[in-house]
Amino acid sequence: MLRPRPVATETHEDFSEPILPGKGASDYERYLRTDELLALQKSPDERAHPDELLFQTVHQSSELWLKLGTSEVARATVHLRAGEHAAALRLLRRAALCLQFVTAQLDMLEQMSPWEYQTVRRVLGHGSGFDSPGFREVRRVTPPLGEAFDAAVGAAGLDVVEVYVHGREHEELYQLAEALVEWDERITMWRIRHYKVVARIIGDQVVGTQGTPVEVLGKMIHHNFFPALWRARNQLTARAKEEED
């Protein structure tokens, strides 16, 4: 005797309810920790000036991009040491984009009135960009990247100039050389932009919040992390001229 099959009961998952652990009314908020993130800025009652929100937003988001960018550089260095050039290149391109974002958002600071900024400045204490954790990480992770690249070039029996002269035969090394130059250049462009923003807001002949003359920022823009890669341009031009003669 055939028995009737039980009718399957359809279950519906309630996607409006969070399933991740943590604080927040939704999984979006819990995963991104938006409760904590959005509490990191001063409340309206705590601000000495409304533009403190702008100031904190720019600097806090900059630290996040720098955290990502320097993490990618550190990971790229590991790949480069392992001979995994393509993987290193992908991460270095990401890192360069992080610096572009950090540089571009400095435009927001120029929306502050130079006079009204003085109110914000009084509540910064000795806070200075020289103490940026992200900038410290840039200085920490960049030299090992250069060392890993030099080792890769040496392992190929080349020098930097030869990498460019014979770029077609060593495409990945050529692309890596350009990626390092891009990272170095983006650091410089960020420094230049930062210097000009500071000069525009507080002046270029004054002392900053940590007692450092603003002109010191201007001198830093001439520093290169990979001088050999920049010298190679001069050497290539000289070599091309010799071959023409």
Say what the pTM is: 0.88
Q: Is residue 97 part of a domain?
A: yes
The number of folded domains in the chain is 1
Q: Is residue 164 part of a domain?
A: yes
Q: What is the pLDDT of residue 126?
A: 84
| Arithmetic mean of pLDDT over the chain | 91
Which stretch of 99-108, 128-137, 179-188 has the lowest confidence by average pLDDT?
Answer: 128-137
pLDDT for 8 beyond 70:
no
- Across 93-116, b (16+ Cβ under 10 Å) vs e yields ebbbbbbbebbebbeebeebeeee
Contact between 95 and 69 (Cβ < 8 Å): yes
Q: What is the pLDDT of residue 212?
A: 67
Q: Is residue 226 part of a domain?
A: yes
pLDDT in tens, 175-206: 999 999 999 999 999 999 998 998 899 888 77
Domain extent, residue 189, equals 49-244
The CATH code of the domain that includes 54 is 1.20.58.480
Q: What is the pLDDT of residue 20?
A: 95
Q: 3-class DSSP state for residue 213?
A: strand
pLDDT for 9 beyond 70:
no
Crossing angle between the packed helical segments 171-202 and 227-244, to the nearest 10 degrees: 120
The DSSP bridge partners found for residue 12 are none
Q: Is residue 170 part of a domain?
A: yes
